[in-house]
Amino acid sequence: MTATDHCLFLRSEAETDRLGKALAPLFRPGDKLLLWGEIGAGKSALARSIIRALCGADTEVPSPTYTLVQTYPAPAGDIWHSDLYRLGDAEEALELGLIDAFETAICLVEWPDRLGPDMPGDALQIHLAATPDGHSARLSLTPAWADRLAGALASAP
């Protein structure tokens, strides 16, 4: 499965929010979004935007940095937002139930490198990086994701 890249530049938090809102309606149970980037790259901001777009603008979306996983019921299906930064090894992802959730929920995963061999190959991957003028976002699209995202990317920042 070959992936292609689509690059965006997000000049503000509002543009990050617009990207999240454009992507959100495309997610369905069993979909995985892997969010890559250093601390401050915008991973949590993008995940928060997607969750609020699916659950309601007033949804409280705390960072899962210390809880590791936050779950949200949504009309589109349950959402699992995980921050794996503090995992000691990939086995802990199994203990969290995250690997099972990959089959039944919409999973937004920060620090996906902590998954080790359990990293899903069919996920949408977004690589974020902070720059002096905003954030860069490189979307790595499998052919299936490229087809699904074609319209959404046309309206993205």
Please report, as a single letter, which amino acid is at residue 38.
E
pLDDT of residue 155: 60
CATH topology of domain 4-141: Rossmann fold (3.40.50)
Which of the listed ranges 50-59, 60-69, 111-120 does the model predict with the highest average pLDDT? 50-59
Distance CA 81, CA 9 (A): 24
What are the structural domain ranges in the chain? 4-141
- Contact between 15 and 157 under an 8 Å Cβ cutoff? The reply is yes
pLDDT in tens, 128-140: 999 999 999 999 9
pLDDT in tens, 138-157: 999 888 898 888 777 666 66
Q: Return the structure tokens found at 6.
A: 């689509």
pLDDT in tens, 5-36: 989 999 999 999 999 999 999 999 999 999 99
pLDDT of residue 140: 92
Neighbours of 97 (CB within 10 A): 13
pLDDT of residue 116: 87
Distance CA 123, CA 150 (A): 16
What is the pTM (predicted TM-score) of this model? 0.92
Give, for 91, the enclosing helix (H) or strand (E). helix 91-96
